[in-house]
Copies of this chain bind each other. A is one copy, B any other.
Amino acid sequence: MMMKFDQQEEENGSGNGGLCRIIEEVPPPPQLKLSFLCQRYEEGGGELFTPPLNFAMVDNGIFRSGFPDSANFSFLKTLNLRSIIYLCPEPYPDANVEFLRLNGIQLFQFGIEGYKEPFVNIPEDKISEALKVTIDVKNHPLLIHCKRGKHRTGCLVGCLRKLQRWCLTSVFDEYQRFATVKARVSDQRFMELFDVSSFKNLPHSFSISKRNGKEQRECSAVSC
């Protein structure tokens, strides 16, 4: 039973000052059970995929979800993940650690407590460090997850959207789509106040998609 800190992380200048644990092996806690009812809708059609709870694509190479269960592993393999950002303080379950090992996926753990209002204290430094990992394309394809994929994941994705210069209305709209009736004003306030100025040198949006096969067609008419 070992827990190692990846020395490479310090060497390549993206050290997290103790905020992020990069885990190679962790102790074996009981595995979370977030089971899905899957039906075979096509006879003889092979395996169906079960994405994790609250799964969605955030941007090119960035995904979000709730806690992945072993039922989700075959789906997660199709994403060809390079990294996972895990936003809870609890140790990663054995089965998940084994899945990461088998598929060469690096785990970045930022232990953020799952507070309930009004006792909320989202650590800005951890979200900020997690955001740095998120926007580093060397870590893509990357999955961000917490327990339910609502609050901690929602805050990190919301801060990413601010960095992409989304207006707050749209940031909150996306947050609420995943948090549903559990949406927290305190989370939204956190996102509103989150300072993206230290990320100033990054492009406003990295969601720009390439058109397949040819460059963007520009309007050639002068009167456009």
Chain A contacts to B: CB under 8 angstroms: 36-39, 41-42, 45-51, 53-61, 75, 78-82, 101-104, 137-138, 140-141, 162, 164-170, 173-174, 177-178, 180, 192, 196-197, 204-205, 207-213, 216-219, 224
- A201 and B153 alpha carbons, distance in the complex (Å): 36
Known: A140-B212, A196-B42, A207-B78. A164 touches B56 (CB 8 A): no
Which residue on B lies nearest to A56, using beta carbons?
B56
Contacting pair A57 B55 (CB below 8 A)? no
Contacting pair B169 A36 (CB below 8 A)? yes
Enumerate chain B residues within 8 angstroms of A219, measured Cβ to Cβ. Answer: 101-104
Contacting pair B164 A210 (CB below 8 A)? no
Which residue on B lies nearest to A55, using beta carbons?
B170
Enumerate chain B residues within 8 angstroms of A196, measured Cβ to Cβ. Answer: 42
Chain A facing B: main interface SS? loop
Can you list 18 A-B contacts with CB-CB less than 8 angstroms, sorted by A residue number? A36-B169, A36-B170, A37-B167, A39-B168, A39-B169, A45-B165, A48-B165, A50-B167, A54-B173, A56-B57, A56-B177, A57-B58, A60-B60, A102-B219, A104-B219, A138-B213, A140-B211, A177-B180
